[in-house]
Structure 1
Amino acid sequence: MLSGKAAVLTASTRGIGLAAARRLARHGARVLVSSRRQDHVDEAVSGLRAEGLEAWGIPCHVGRGPDREALVAEAVRLFGGVDILVSNAGVNPHAGGILDCPESAWDKLWEVNVKAAALLVGLVAPHMEKRGGGSIVLVSSVAGYRPSFPIGAYGVSKTALLGLTKALAGELAPLRIRVNCLAPGFIKTNFSSVLWEEDGLRRELEKGVAMGRLGEAEECAGVVAFLCSPDAAYITGETVGVNGGIDCRL
């Protein structure tokens, strides 16, 4: 389905990012994984290769311009270009009320969760155009539909990704580049562990999920693979929720 395609993924050494990298590689893509720590990159690449998958890795802090440029340059060096970008990096530096969120936290939320995604798209788009098109998946969150205490500021940054998806899809459609968005619900990852490690809190969360359970990273990975595949050739500007039936209306 994705044989020979070159995929770049941010924050892809654990959780949803790693699951997406694995699924893309199983469908034939060559994947370049990344995260801030070299040891996490090495561990992820080793694990993927142990499964017989084509994987490479590079450290990348998406909030830093030189790191973003190095990530894309490495993909071009390895693969000759880029066909797929999965922008999964995100941070949540503040827990509490929105009006209590310090300026430094707002800056970090914007730098990593929103601006870095837009600038990465700008770096890969020319390479995708040279290859006749491509597919981009931005990873938002159910919190983007329902920003609420104590992660309201984080949710607002994820709401921005819903709009960024629509805006980029319109701009890049003439280049045959599709841009879609994944909005996970409560998924069991290290990033969300504070929400599910304590049994009482997990049970409260599950009450708001129609399916009565939290999701797994692999359940997001299948949607990413579909959005990057020829089966989704006429889909762009859309956000797909993987949330077990949470009501998502802005």
Structure 2
Amino acid sequence: MTAPILEARGLSIAFGGLRAVDNVSFTVARNRITTIIGPNGAGKSTLFNLISGALRPRGGQVLIEGVDQTGQPPYRMQAAGLARSFQITNLFFELSVGENLRLASQILEPWSLALRPVSASHAALARVDELLQRFSLKDKASFRVSALSHGEQRRLEVALALACKPKVLLLDEPTQGMSHGDTQDTAALIKSLANDVTVLLIEHDIGLVMSLSDHVIVMHQGQKLAEGAPADIRNNPAVQAAYLGHP
């Protein structure tokens, strides 16, 4: 049986008297889409922060490919193969699409060659071309990011997270604020990503979650309420009462 690529063991953190994440454990299978759902305030983004190194857990462990990475800062988590996007769009709005991607892809170049001209960054520039093509942004490469639609900006942010060629990609509400058409396009894109990278997703659109996910984890008041296949989660009475709004 293939070992999980990512594992959370008893992750916990409290802010004052609030236990924002309380003894949460789960595993993420390689090249699958695992989605975390739950009401606002359930602790989903805090859990992402614990996994990605933005916050250090007060208890528990984070393992990537069986190696304990607990409490490592984000740049070390990235070196271990983990990348993430954020709920709030985080881009260089006055730079072009291509320049944003080139900056993110520069990590593929050796640090010893950091002072070379940009034109000599062959690995980074090749990655930029790959991402522009894959994310249908080729014709927008020279556009300022501020001129893109909201959907294009969110798509670009996912591309930036992929620039470093991660093994595990954390996406925090990638379809937030999108139109129905953009949401469907982004869902298809995320589904295609699982061929190359393991996806751990936070998403509020239940219809999208059920159609997109291989595995669903439900959080409620900082704890894991349930997990399983989408159909099992949809039919779980505790999930229906706590999140879907009916018993």
With normalisation by structure 2, the TM-score equals: 0.32
More strand by share: 2
More helix by share: 1
Q: Which has the higher contact order (CA 8 A, sep 6+)?
A: 2
With normalisation by structure 1, the TM-score equals: 0.32
